[in-house]
Amino acid sequence: MGRLLRTARSAILTVVAALALVGGAAGAAAAGTAPAAGGQRVVYDALGDSYASGYGVPPYAACGRSQSAYPVQLDGRHRVQLDDFVACAGATTVTLVTGGQLAALDVDTDLVTLTVGGNDIGWSTAVSACLGGTDVQCTGALALVDARTTGQLPALLDAVYAQVAAAAPHAHVVVTGYPRLFSSDLGAYLAASPAELAGLNAAADTLDAMISDASARAGFQYVDVRRRFDGHGANSPDAWILGPSDPGAFHPTAEGYRAYTAAVSSALGPLGRGCGHHR
């Protein structure tokens, strides 16, 4: 059993770097697609972290941007034209701004999507501690993440949301949450017990609650993706979350990003030019 735990810890440590991706400056990358037929285009800019950039499904352009990302898949739906796709793996609420993502936004932006917040709370450290560490390490890491999520993240989200609203004053802004990473009803996974997996999922629920509340304060639309991922955790036989042996550990698979796309597309409904006036 000791050897098994040591092996599990070693496997988890090898993917910490993938979970805590280093995000540099996010330069604007124009999509360059033609407007959809049947009406005026909806000018769309996509911001955020690795869950917005499509990290986990290579090949990648700059900042871990993938053609499997939900912003790319939304291009052409609802008359949406993806203008600037600047989401960057590793982005936090602070580096999203300092890295230049807000430069993609202007008065002509009709639609913005944004996924950010997970990197601000040290989420990867809790996943690593619970899957590869001791019970005490898992409990401590979860407590620290929870304290950051409830004590620090709301103000960080309020600040970045205000800057997004100011940079794109006419835009409809859609904020997505994060999925639960595990199917805790399927038993233990690596060094984590079912209770510890449930604790990680509860921490994801708290993170999503803070993001949802901050979105409401800003007048943004929040999209919850958790139900679409039910039964498809990293430890599921039909996983939509990549496991610890993958370079994109604990990011969505291609199917997972399709679930993100479906959730946002369903939430958007019919859109038209000037949709942003209905934030």
Please give the helix or strand (H or E) that residue 76 lies within, else none: none
**pLDDT average, residue stretch 151-173:** 98
Instruction: Note whether 116 and 93 are within 8 A (CB).
Output: yes
Buried b (16+ CB within 10 A) or exposed e, 200-214: bbebbebbbebbbeb
Tell me, what's the pLDDT at 275? 55
Tell me, what's the pLDDT at 233? 98
CA distance 117 to 75: 24
- Written as six digits, the tokens of 19 are 């979970």
Tell me, what's the pLDDT at 269? 83
Please identify which of the residues 50, 53, 184, 215 carries the catalytic annotation.
50
Q: Using only C-alpha atoms, what is the Rg of the chain? A: 18
Instruction: Note whether 20 and 13 are within 8 A (CB).
Output: no
pLDDT digits (tens, 9 = 90+) for 198-212: 999 999 999 999 999
CA distance 132 to 189: 10
Please identify which of the residues 170, 215, 251, 278 carries the catalytic annotation.
251
| Spatial CA neighbour of 54 closest among 43, 65, 63, 44 | 65
Query: Which amino acid is present at 188?
Result: A
Tell me the percentage of the chain whose pLDDT exceeds 90.
81
CA distance 234 to 249: 9
- E-only strand ranges, 57-109: 80-85
Residue partners of 161: CB distance under 8 A and separation at least 6: 173, 175, 214, 215, 217, 218, 220
**pLDDT average, residue stretch 115-125:** 95
| Vertex 89: Cα angle to 70 and 147 (nearest 5) | 105
Specify whether 251 is catalytic.
Answer: yes
Angle, helices 153-167 vs 135-151, to 10°: value is: 50
Residue partners of 153: CB distance under 8 A and separation at least 6: 93, 117, 120, 121, 207, 210, 214
Question: Looking up tokens 């912003």, which residue turns up?
Answer: 71
Tell me, what's the pLDDT at 274? 44
CA distance 23 to 18: 11
Tell me, what's the pLDDT at 188? 96
Backbone angles phi, psi at 50, to 5 degrees: -65, -30
CA distance 30 to 237: 37
> Domains in the chain, please, with CATH?
2-269 (3.40.50.1110)
Specify whether 78 is catalytic.
Answer: no
Could you tell me the pLDDT band of residue 21, with boundaries at 50, 70 and 90? very low
| Spatial CA neighbour of 160 closest among 216, 85, 96 | 96
- Residue 117: pLDDT over 60: yes
